[in-house]
Amino acid sequence: MALIVQKYGGTSVGTPERIKNVARRVAKFKAQGHDIVVVVSAMSGETNRLIALAKEIQANPDPRELDVIVSTGEQVTIGLLAMALKEQGVDAKSYTGGQVKILTDSTHTKARIQSIDDEAMRADLNAGRVVIVAGFQGVDPEGNITTLGRGGSDTSGVALAAALKADECQIYTDVDGVYTTDPRVVPEAKKLKTITFEEMLEMASLGSKVLQIRSVEFAGKYNVKLRVLSSFQEEGEGTLITFEEDPNMEKPVVSGIAFNRDEARINVTGVPDKPGIAYQILGPVSDANIDVDMIIQNVGKDGTTDFSFTVPKPDLARTIKVLEGVQAHIGAAQIDGDDKICKISIVGVGMRSHVGVAATMFRTLAEEGINIQMISTSEIKISVIVDEKYLELAVRVLHKAFGLDKG
Amino acid sequence: MALIVQKYGGTSVGTPERIKNVARRVAKFKAQGHDIVVVVSAMSGETNRLIALAKEIQANPDPRELDVIVSTGEQVTIGLLAMALKEQGVDAKSYTGGQVKILTDSTHTKARIQSIDDEAMRADLNAGRVVIVAGFQGVDPEGNITTLGRGGSDTSGVALAAALKADECQIYTDVDGVYTTDPRVVPEAKKLKTITFEEMLEMASLGSKVLQIRSVEFAGKYNVKLRVLSSFQEEGEGTLITFEEDPNMEKPVVSGIAFNRDEARINVTGVPDKPGIAYQILGPVSDANIDVDMIIQNVGKDGTTDFSFTVPKPDLARTIKVLEGVQAHIGAAQIDGDDKICKISIVGVGMRSHVGVAATMFRTLAEEGINIQMISTSEIKISVIVDEKYLELAVRVLHKAFGLDKG
């Protein structure tokens, strides 16, 4: 007898048939005696359809009105799922974000949740009903409809679980859990039974797009037990995201290997090695609204230094243009970029207590003749930039070197 | 400087291009200094798409959840129209029924409006904004989303005009006004500059489907000045629906000719001419949820009488089956039906003060050899049932006989 929040994404509710499948799964949990709150996304493709419609009217849609339009996607799904449950003899009631009320700030299209009123939902749960809530949306203090931004349904699920003090928040997706790396690259990749919150954050931000990162942060902040499961498999425990490291538990040194092909590298060479130079280079880039990920500055010699950083691939040309505009001012000898690179990261809380992880990583890559262009480290992660053509090879050999194929 | 409520139906907002056209029209009125509240329907086809989606889940969709789903149709339109106005430099704000708040009872899928809060709308109007409201929907006292039923956007428009004490409620459709009869049958049909509320009620219920009948009743009750116009023509004053007969005005005897091909006639002959027989016949029909329109009982002779009435054509077979089930009980000699009939009605408040209108109607039909099967009259209307094949001929000769082609 637990209170479980289940979140189903757009693919899981993409057709009437799939909605009926979700209803069957919910009904099964309900029959086991659990109280269930279901959070759903819009049917897959629907949000894009609505945004395209809005853009036919306004190239840059008014944010308030875009939220009015886009929020209808989830509103349709909640009604359909409530019907599907009733059709299976399970009493259910749908709630829009405003009906719950999920109070957010007024930042349309990327609002943040401020509070959730659990009173009405609790009354329905006590009356034996399944509660169905539209994900991704809320209402601001003036009653305007807001949305949480892309992927925000995960955050809705976690926030509802926190507000209701649910025993578990289950995120159903089209994968059955978090893997040691992408199984399409390494067929031997193993599903992780558990992953720590910190590791998940590093994995998510590095491209293992299983969960929206903000939802993981939210779960950590409110200590919500979060589990990733497949909505297309009947059985399976998925991957549980844990928040406390069990000191008695033997943790693997490395939990997973993430990678990212979406970045490009910029080199600014021969700049005067003086205070403020990093800001002079990155300030104009930031002003142009270009996201910067890895940043590396080598120790200088002869009064000059080299400065490197990565940006999203589509922004490479624009970044170089911005820097060429300030090249004379900063006194850089040369500016160049390379978009034929990739980033590979090993992640694991076990690194904290194990020396030599970096050494193993670098040796493994060296043995395959893979040149490392940039290195960046954090407490539980080591990232390297290598030539894009080595991506699959590098991930495979690292996966093996850290024993991840042994499960 | 007037306060005008404009209602645009599904065809008028059926595409992004048409929504931009509506925005241009609204902007023009706004530029003339008027305060404008716009009520919109769902884009044409959208409501049917949503209902079909719901029926894939539940053959008889749960009414509360159906309202949650169907109400998204208008919600998309209000957002798109607000964007289109902003794109044209006109400040605008959209409102769902719940945001207004249009309070209704809890009869899902056919709720009735109880009250409208005009405070927020007035604040926006005073700030110079165009207010855009989703038609067809409201919210019940518990915050559940309700809909007013098909065609309910007209009612929303009139109710908003009443609540705001608007100077005029303009209903934009794909016709440019109310005609003396259907121009597809009589090319000489003339557009009426005005029509009385009572005439409009008779015309609407008889098949001139320009306005939803409940909206006309609503306009009459709250004395809302109602005008029907075309959303596809730039100019034109449409038809104004008036509520007081101007005693000084020379009214034509007959204002229009309505017709209806959608009914079938039932004869129950040789029934005992005794009290309660009408109820014994119509009670079972009513219990089967079959709508009855015209009812005629002739004076009996020899202790028996004949009883005739009309039902919607698709219900003919079912009605006969119901009556055959009680034939022995009511003691009827024979039960038969005919779906090859039509109803033709002449409507006009001028009939009240002019004798001989019925005589002219019957003589005109007789001169063409058209046999009248049933006759029914009210104070401002005379309806006849004739063989369906005479419909066009009958409407044409009556249109001429009452001078309607003279404009």
ipTM, two decimals, is 0.78
Nearest residue to B133 via CA among B49, B208, B74:
B74
* pLDDT tens, position by position, B138-184: 999 999 999 997 668 999 999 999 999 999 999 998 888 888 998 88
Which of A17, A68, A119 to probe by mutation at the B interface, max B CB count within 10 Å? A68
Confidence of residue B32 (pLDDT cuts 50, 70, 90): very high
CB-CB under 8 Å, A65 with B86: yes
Per-residue pLDDT at B201: 81
Would strands A226-230 and A35-40 be described as parallel, antiparallel, or unpaired?
Answer: unpaired
Give tens-digit pLDDT for A354-401.
778 888 999 999 999 999 998 988 888 999 999 999 999 999 999 999
Q: Is B161 on the interface with A (CB under 8 A)?
A: no
Contact A58 B86 (CB under 8 A): yes
- Residue A250 in this model has a pLDDT that exceeds 90: no
Check the CA dihedral A147-A148-A150-A154 and report its sign. negative
Are A107 and A149 in contact by the 8 Å Cβ rule? The answer is no
For residue A244, give the 3-state DSSP assignment: coil
A87 touches chain B (CB under 8 A): yes
pLDDT, position B268: 93
pLDDT at A196 over 80: yes
Q: Which residue of B has its CA nearest to A134?
A: B68
Tens digit of each residue's pLDDT (9 = 90 or more) over A58-105 = 999 999 999 999 999 999 999 999 999 999 999 999 999 999 999 999
pLDDT of residue A246: 60
Chain B residues touching A62 at Cβ < 8 A: 82-83, 86
Give the pLDDT confidence score for residue B378 in this predicted structure. 84
Q: Are B153 and B139 in contact (CB under 8 A)?
A: no
Decide which of B352 and B245 is more confident: B352
Higher-confidence residue of B76 and A220: namely: B76
Do residue A76 and residue B50 have CB atoms under 8 angstroms apart? yes
Give the Å distances, CA to CA, from B230 to A234, B6, B39, B210: 56, 12, 15, 11
Residue A208 in this model has a pLDDT that exceeds 70: no
Q: What is the mean pLDDT of chain B?
A: 91
Q: Say what the pLDDT of residue B301 is.
A: 76
Give the number of A-B residue pairs with CB atoms closer than 8 Å. 105
Q: If you average pLDDT over every residue of chain A, what do you get? A: 91
Is B147 near chain A, with CB under 8 Å? no
Closest by CA position to B275, among listed B245, B305, B295: B305
Express each pLDDT in B84-132 by its tens digit: 999 999 999 999 999 999 999 999 998 999 999 999 999 999 999 999 9
Inter-chain residue contact A87 with B57, CB threshold 8 Å: yes
Per residue in B35-53, pLDDT (tens digit) is 999 999 999 999 999 999 9
As a whole number, mean pLDDT of residues B386-390 equals 95
Contact call for residues B9 and B174 (beta carbons, < 8 A): yes
What's the mean pLDDT in A317-328? 94
| Best A62, A137, A142, A146 residue to mutate vs chain B (most B CBs within 10 Å) | A62
Q: How near does any CA of chain B get to the CA of A91, in Å?
A: 11
A306-315, B296-305, B378-387: the lowest-pLDDT one = B296-305
**According to the model, what pLDDT value does residue B60 have?**
95
Beta bridge partners of A147: A137
Question: What was the pLDDT predicted at A251?
Answer: 65
| C-alpha–C-alpha distance, residues A399 and B208, integer Å | 74
Please give the residue that has the higher pLDDT: either B245 or A33.
A33
- Give just the sign of the alpha carbon dihedral B212, B213, B214, B217: positive
> Residue B302: its pLDDT value, please?
81
Contacts of A54 in chain B (CB under 8 A): 79-80, 83
Q: Give me the mean pLDDT over the A234-238 stretch.
A: 83
- B19 vs A contacts (CB less than 8 Å): 57
Best probe of the B interface among A20, A76, A83, A121, by most B CBs < 10 A, is: A83
Contacts of A60 in chain B (CB under 8 A): none
All structural domains of chain B with their residue ranges: 3-174
| DSSP β-bridge partners for residue A262 | none
CATH code for the domain defined by A3-174: 3.40.1160.10
Residue B336 has pLDDT above 80, yes or no: yes
Q: Percent of chain B at pLDDT above 90?
A: 65
Reported as a single tens digit per residue, the pLDDT across B255-274 is 999 999 999 999 999 998 88
Residue A313 has pLDDT above 90, yes or no: yes
Count CB atoms within 10 A of the CB of residue A330. 18
Q: Strand B168-173 and strand B3-8: pairing?
A: parallel
Number of Cβ within a 10 Å radius of residue B51: 14
Contacts of A83 in chain B (CB under 8 A): 54, 57-58, 61-62, 65-66
The pLDDT, as a whole number, for residue B318 is: 95
Say if B2 is an interface residue toward chain A (CB within 8 Å): no
Q: In the structure, what pLDDT confidence band is assigned to residue A268 with cuts at 50, 70 and 90?
A: very high
SS (H, E, C) chain B: CCEEEEEECCCCCCCHHHHHHHHHHHHHHHHCCCEEEEEECCCCCHHHHHHHHHHHHCCCCCHHHHHHHHCHHHHHHHHHHHHHHHHCCCCEEEECHHHHCEEECCCCCCCCEEEECCHHHHHHHHCCCEEEEECCEEECCCCCEEECCCCHHHHHHHHHHHHCCCCEEEEEECCCCCECCCCCCCCCCCECCEEEHHHHHHHHHCCCCCCCHHHHHHHHHHCCCEEEEECCCCCCCCEEEECCCCCCCCCCCCCEEEEECCEEEEEEEEEECCCCHHHHHHHHHHHCCCCCCCEEECCCECCEEEEEEEEEHHHHHHHHHHHHHHHHHHCCCEEEEECCEEEEEEECHHHHHCCCHHHHHHHHHHHCCCCEEEEEEECCEEEEEEEHHHHHHHHHHHHHHCCHHHC
Any CB–CB contact under 8 A between A317 and chain B? no
**Of A311, A282, A318, whose CA–CA distance to A297 is shortest?**
A282
Q: Residue B250: pLDDT above 80?
A: no
pLDDT band at B351, cuts 50/70/90? confident
A339-356 pLDDT tens trace: 999 999 999 988 877 778
pLDDT at A137: 97
